[in-house]
Every structure is written in C-alpha cells, then in structure tokens.
A and B are shown apart, each in its own frame.
Chain A
C-alpha cells in the first residue's frame, strides 16, 4: 500500500551504467556499445490485434503467430517482445506509429571487427534476472569491472509526470564500466586469423590455433583458433565453441618439447650444445622400444644435431641424464601442470601426473613430448622464457584499465621466476636457430631472418593407444632470434595434406612471421 502510494507522487528510475569498451593496443575498439532498444507491447492500448501482429512480425522478423500469442493476454500491463533491437528497426517501427507498441533503451554490444578474436573476448548474455552479464574470455573475467554500477533517481513528480524541483530528490550517478586496453595488436590479430584460416584450408586440418606473445612482457599480441564463432550472434553457434582452446584445451606437444628438455639439461651442466651422442639404433626402455621418427640412425650427433634431426633416442639419453626428479621439478618450474594465471575466464590446466607415478618409460616419452599434456598457452610461455633470457612471464591480455574518471590502472608485466640462466637461454636459442636452418622445415624459412624454433608432430591418443594417422602438427618459436619481438605457437589438428609439423605448421608459422616482420618493420639481414 505504501509503495503504491509513493509511486503516485514519486518518480523512481534506475540509471543504467554503460558497459566498458575493449580497445586494442593500437587504440581501436574491438568491442563497444551501440544503441538498441527493448520492444514491448501494452496490450490494452492495441487498436487492431491482427494488424499489430502483422506489422511487428514483419519488421522484427518474428513469426506472426508468436506475436499474436504474446498480445493475447490483455490482463498484463506490458509484455516484452524482443530485446536489444537495432536502431534502424526501431526507427522503422516508430515510423509505422503502431498503437500499443513501446520502446525502452538498452545498449547492445557491437563488434566493429566482426568475429575477430571471438574466443578471447567472450560475449555478453543475460542472467536469470534479465541483466547483462559477461560470459567466457575477457567479458567473463572482467565482468565486474566492465559492467560498472547502475545509478538511481528518486524525485517528486507532478500530475503530468514532470519532476517538481522544489520537492525531495535523490540522484545517485551511475558509474560506467572501465575501458580495457589490451596488449592485443589488431593488425597482428588480423594477419593471424587470415593466415590460420588459409592454412587450415590448405593443409586440410580439422582445427587450428595460433598464439603470439611478447616475450619481454608476457602480453598476448594475438590469439586465434578455428573453428570459432561470432560473439554478437553466439546463440547461433555450438556451445562447444565458446571455450578458448588455447587456454582451455590440452594437447601433447610432441617434439616442440625437446628444446625445453635440452634447456633443463644444459642449465644443470649435464650437457653442452657440442656434447656427442651416438645414435646407433633404437633404445629399449622398460618393455618398450623407442625409435627415431623415420627409423634412421645417424651415428655421432651433437646435441644441436639431436634437435636438428629431432631425435627421440637422443632425447631419451638427455632425459636419463636428468633423471625423473630433476625432470619433474623442471617441468613444474616452467609452468606446466598449473594455470598460467592469464586474465581469461576459461583457463584450465591439465593435471600433472603425481611425482610418485613417474616411471622410466614416462620420463623417456615425455622427453620428446609424448605422454604429457599442456595447453598451447603454457607451451608458448615456456618458449618465451628461452627468448627473454630465462624468465617465465605471467601472460596478460589487458595492459591497462581506464575508469570513467579517467583514472588509469596499469597492469605491469609480471616476472614469475627465472627458469634457466641467461647463458643457457642463449645456448638453447642458438640450438633452436640451427634446428630451423638445418631441420626438416628449412625449405619454408623466410630468407634473411634468424628464427629460433622447433617442429612437432604428436600422435593423438585414442582409447588407450596412439593413432599413427591422426596427429597434432605444431611449430613453436620466436623471432628475430637475436632480439625477439614475438614468440609464437602454431598447432594444426589432424592435417590431411601431411601429418608432419615440418610440412604444415612450420610453413604456416613462417608465413605469419613474414607478415609480422613487415608490419613491425623488421628488415631481413
């Protein structure tokens, strides 16, 4: 009764807060708000139900029967017809001057670059109360900061509903959401997405992903996966696509892992780049036999050549020198088995095998990246540590946040720990550069650039065994090797043109790298 009485002389309104925009590092919005409205009906004011349903369904593209059903209940004061209708359609409806139709402003997310970076952005949907809420990616992780805080106004009104200035009034201003400035570079993201789509088509892969990181800061310059979705039309896509596989899916890294294992052994002083290993044949480990990928054996090899030839038996030798305890400690140290703490909602990490469960065969297979699961982000972060002098960085999407009062919160790059000495990182860099220059993928390398990298071809585990024909081809590396500007990982799932990383993921890596060199103005030498 009191509330009803108050409503007769008081005007109480909520002033909605505007959701913050998301801006790329070059200053362009990748997510912003656009004007839209809720279209509702006041059934009591409708003059002709049939005409009303025809006109409204025609403009909003809803079935006429649905609109008729909505307006049939005349006991209700008002009924929402459709949320977040674009301004053009609102103007069209207004021009029809339909009695009983009403509009209420409600902002809608707008994506100037279309579906670019969908899986890292996430999307805005409605919660149980019909309020906007961010799901997945940045929208989910930073929902509280982006949504801001609604304000309110309470003022006495006259008989026509206009506010009375001499009456009581309370106005609480809304606090709009913060604007997020990303590390993401719009041009690099565009290059990556285009080349990834072309690469997937060219190599006949089922899925693919590319992540580019600044090794000095841990900032993510680009992140793309395929297949993906459009965040503005997320309801039309399979829910499985909402999660970002770069932070939420695990894969076996295969031979790309070898450079990291080499780093561990060199850092411990167990081997040098020039140490010799006799590759004379397969190695027996427990009840298993480990062979090279092509079952060819090259005799005496330096450790650099072990990487160049991607020798599995050479890596088993290195892992045995390390031993299980040191190996397990090292892989934990470089960030495998725990989330990286990136500012994206959907991050998860494959659970690492417990220390006591490690057997000799597990150590042997893990030395060449099989039997161990990582996320693409964990892999590129560990490789970036080789590029930056041995420091494991915390990866970040957001560089700074700007609130409505123009206060800026800088998110500083965070060094987690040093995982190898600077000297070791230089040695591993040279070994990886040599692996590119003399390895299986040397034909695709852009001329005049020093690129450190490693190919990988991991078989996919299916029902307890590995399927020879189904592989994840990958290439991880950084460039320029002497002063790295970016570290990048390319993965292709089940490429059909060739199962090998050297013939699929590596050329795709080099194609993307060439365009990034051009964009960043890095000349060939």
Chain B
C-alpha cells in the first residue's frame, strides 16, 4: 500500500515538474513567435512590393514610354481584307 502511495506521489511530482518545464518552454517560445510574426510581415511586404513592381512594369504607361524610347513613334497603317476578298487574284491554271 505504502509503495503504491509513494509511486503515485512520485508520478504526480514528475508530471508537475514536466508541466512546469513545458510551460516555461512555452513562455520562452513567445520570442520565437514574435520573430516568426516579423518574418511573415516581411514576406507579406516583399510580396506586396513585387506585385507593385509587376503592376508598374506591365502598365500601359510604362509600356508606352518604353515603346517611345525604342523609336516606335508612328502607328503602322493597317489594311483590312474582308473575308470574301481573295488575297491574290486567281488566274487560269496552266
């Protein structure tokens, strides 16, 4: 009986110690959480910055400026051919 009682008390003490150690570890993890939160914020910031750069680079405003600087200053003349029109005159087959 005494042995059982001692065993139970030992197990309880062990569990209490384990819980205290675990809680202490969790308390310490708060700093790690803060670091991770900081990293998430930084990644989000980088993603936002990339989105902004992509939007800026693909904007008509930028494309137009680049096209002008590359010498595309005149619009090409476009000739449309109706679907019923032949692109070349058909001659007799020889």
Chain B residues 1 to 58 lying within 8 A of chain A, measured CB to CB, are 23, 26-27, 29-31, 33-34, 41, 45, 48-49, 51-52, 55-56, 58
Which of B30, B33, B55, B78 lies in contact with A110, CB distance below 8 A? B55
CB-defined contacts of A525 to chain B, threshold 8 Å = 82
Closest residue on chain B to residue A29 by CB atoms: B55
- The complex places the Cα of A523 from the Cα of B82 at a distance, in Å, of 7
Measured between alpha carbons, how far is A116 from B64 in the docked complex, in Å? 13
Chain B residues bordering chain A, tally (CB within 8 A): 25
Residues of A within 8 A of B27 (CB): 158, 164-166
Q: How far is the CA of A112 from the CA of B62 in the complex (A)?
A: 9
Is A448 part of the binding interface, using a Cβ–Cβ cutoff of 8 Å? yes
Q: Which residues of B contact A518 (CB under 8 A)?
A: 78
A187, CB-defined interface residue at 8 Å:
yes
Residue in B34, B45, B78, B82 whose CB lies within 8 Å of A162: B34
**Are A158 and B30 within 8 A (Cβ)?**
yes
The answer to the question of A293 belonging to the interface, with a C-beta cut-off of 8 Å to chain B, is no
A502 nearest CB across to chain B (Å): 25
**For the complex, what is the distance from the CA of A190 to the CA of B49, rounded to whole Å?**
25
Q: List the B side residues contacting A162 at CB < 8 Å.
A: 30-31, 33-34
B26 engages A34 (CB within 8 Å): no
**Are A186 and B80 CB-contacts (below 8 A) given A32-B52, A165-B30, A166-B23?**
no
The reply to whether the CB of A466 lies closer than 8 angstroms to some CB of chain B is no
Contacts A158-B30, A162-B34, A166-B23 given; indicate if A110 touches B82 (C-beta within 8 A): no
- Asked if A524 CB lies within 8 Å of chain B CBs, one says yes
- Is B88 at the interface (CB under 8 A from chain A)? no
| Chain B residues whose C-beta falls within 8 Å of the C-beta of A523 in the assembled complex | 80-83
Residue B67 interfacial (CB < 8 Å): no
Separation in Å of the A137 CB from the closest CB of chain B? 19
Give the CA-CA distance A488 to B82 in the complex, in Å: 25
Given contacts A110-B52, A113-B61, contact A448 B80 (CB under 8 A): yes
Would you call A28 and B23 a contact (CB within 8 A)? no
For A110, the chain B residues whose CB sits under 8 A away are 52, 55
- B60 in contact with A190 (CB, 8 Å): yes
Asked if B73 CB lies within 8 Å of chain A CBs, one says no
Q: Are B82 and A524 in contact (CB under 8 A)?
A: yes
B69 within 8 A of A: no
Bound: A160/B91 CA distance, A: 92
Residue A274 CB within 8 A of the other chain:
no
What chain B residues lie within 8 Å of A34 (beta carbons)? 48-49, 52
CB distance from A217 to the nearest CB of B (A): 24
Q: A408 at interface (Cβ–Cβ under 8 A)? A: no
Given the interface pairs A162-B31, A163-B34, A164-B27, the reply to whether A35 lies near B55 with Cβ below 8 Å is: no
Produce 1/0 per residue, B57-89, CB < 8 A to A.
011110000000000000000101111000000
- A33 close to chain B: CB less than 8 A: yes
Contact sample, A vs B, 25 pairs, CB 8 Å cutoff: A28-B55, A32-B55, A35-B45, A35-B49, A35-B52, A87-B49, A110-B55, A112-B55, A112-B59, A114-B59, A116-B60, A157-B30, A162-B31, A163-B34, A164-B27, A165-B27, A165-B33, A166-B27, A186-B60, A187-B60, A448-B80, A523-B80, A523-B81, A523-B83, A524-B80
The 10 closest A-B pairs by CB, nearest first: A162-B30, A523-B80, A112-B59, A112-B55, A165-B26, A524-B80, A163-B30, A162-B31, A34-B52, A162-B34
